[in-house]
């Protein structure tokens, strides 16, 4: 199990360089500006069109997109798939910082430092487009409003990081798991007649890295939620949640 002190160390090291990731909803190709709303809001002009023409890179499950400590010269747009960013402590303990879906931009911590403060790993077969850092910075310098938008997003992401640090420090494991399931449902969920299905296979080991607990603890908590009717599993093994019930549970735990 990752100790709270170790979690704090991992997160605090990220806080000094935290920047906001921009989410965009796109398909396998960026054919229209309307498909990359957040990118065009953040990096207006012809950069959106240029992204559509850039060659994509295929990343296989388990493959590292970049490593901690290596030079940082670009950010990445996910055209398809699922990629996580994580930090690894000197003792080898891994903390998943964020799971990025199709349309997200990742690797933006490089705007503050010259090296990667995190690593990025594909959770499933993914397709990414690399955006050179000099191209990004050029656009921000040319467009003050885009720079302001970026700063606003960075501040919001910094707040989220502080809130997560607080959660990992004081909340019980059930509360952290419930909150994480609700976040995943909001980010990558699809409505079904049984509830909101988390439309990617997130393993128990990955959930454990997200909430800072042992896999066995996550397995036990998931069983409790399933028996209570708060979650179920689809035929493909995806988690389906009752958002209202989980939200009520989280509120109840928070009040005690």
pLDDT of residue 158: 66
Question: Are the CB atoms for 106 and 120 separated by under 8 Å?
Answer: yes
pLDDT of residue 144: 78
Domain spanning 4-158, CATH class: mainly beta
pLDDT of residue 105: 79
Number of helices and strands (H, E) in the chain? 9, 12
The pTM score is 0.75
pLDDT of residue 4: 42
pLDDT of residue 88: 85
Element at 120 (helix H, strand E): strand 119-122
Look up the CATH architecture of domain 171-254: Orthogonal Bundle (1.10)
Tell me how far apart the alpha carbons of residues 217 and 255 are, in angstroms, rounded to a whole number.
Answer: 22
4-158 and 171-254, same CATH topology: no
Q: Which residues pair with 87 in a beta bridge?
A: 95
Tell me how far apart the alpha carbons of residues 243 and 50 are, in angstroms, rounded to a whole number.
Answer: 39
Q: Please, is 95 exposed, middle or buried when counting C-beta atoms within 10 Å of its C-beta (0-12, 13-18, 19+)?
A: buried
pLDDT of residue 143: 75
Q: 39 vs 48, 51, 59, 80, 105, CA distance in Å?
A: 7, 10, 22, 16, 9
Q: 244 vs 181, 183, 225, CA distance in Å?
A: 12, 13, 13
Where are the chain's structural domains? 4-158, 171-254
Tens-of-pLDDT digits for all 256 residues of the chain? 444 444 444 444 444 433 333 333 333 334 444 444 444 444 544 555 566 567 889 999 999 999 998 998 888 888 889 999 888 888 888 888 888 888 777 887 666 677 888 899 999 999 998 988 888 778 778 777 767 766 676 666 667 667 777 777 788 999 999 999 998 998 889 999 989 999 898 999 999 999 989 999 999 999 999 999 999 998 888 999 999 999 999 999 887 7
SS3 of 98, please?
strand
């Amino acid at each position: 199990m990752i100790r709270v002190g170790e979690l704090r160390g991992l997160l605090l090291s990220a806080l000094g360089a935290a920047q906001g990731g921009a989410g965009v909803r796109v398909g396998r190709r960026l054919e229209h500006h309307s498909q990359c709303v957040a990118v065009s809001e953040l990096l207006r002009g012809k950069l959106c069109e240029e992204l559509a023409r850039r060659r994509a890179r295929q990343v296989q499950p388990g493959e590292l997109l970049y490593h901690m400590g290596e030079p940082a010269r670009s950010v990445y747009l996910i055209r398809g798939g699922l990629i996580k960013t994580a930090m690894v402590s000197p003792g080898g303990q891994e903390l998943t910082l964020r799971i990025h879906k199709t349309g997200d931009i990742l690797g933006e911590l490089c705007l503050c430092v010259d090296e990667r403060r995190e690593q990025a790993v594909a959770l499933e077969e993914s397709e990414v487009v690399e955006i050179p850092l000099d191209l990004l910075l050029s656009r921000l310098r040319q467009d003050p409003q885009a720079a302001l938008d970026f700063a606003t997003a960075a501040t919001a992401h910094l707040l989220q990081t502080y809130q997560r640090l607080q959660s990992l420090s004081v909340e019980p494991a059930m509360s952290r798991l419930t909150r994480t399931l609700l976040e995943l449902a909001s980010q990558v969920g699809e409505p079904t007649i049984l509830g909101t299905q988390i439309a990617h296979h997130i393993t128990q080991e990955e959930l454990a890295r997200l909430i800072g607990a042992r896999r066995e603890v996550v397995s036990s908590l998931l069983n409790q939620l399933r028996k209570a009717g708060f979650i179920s599993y689809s035929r493909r093994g995806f988690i389906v949640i009752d958002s209202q019930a989980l939200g009520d549970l989280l509120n109840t735990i928070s009040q005690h």
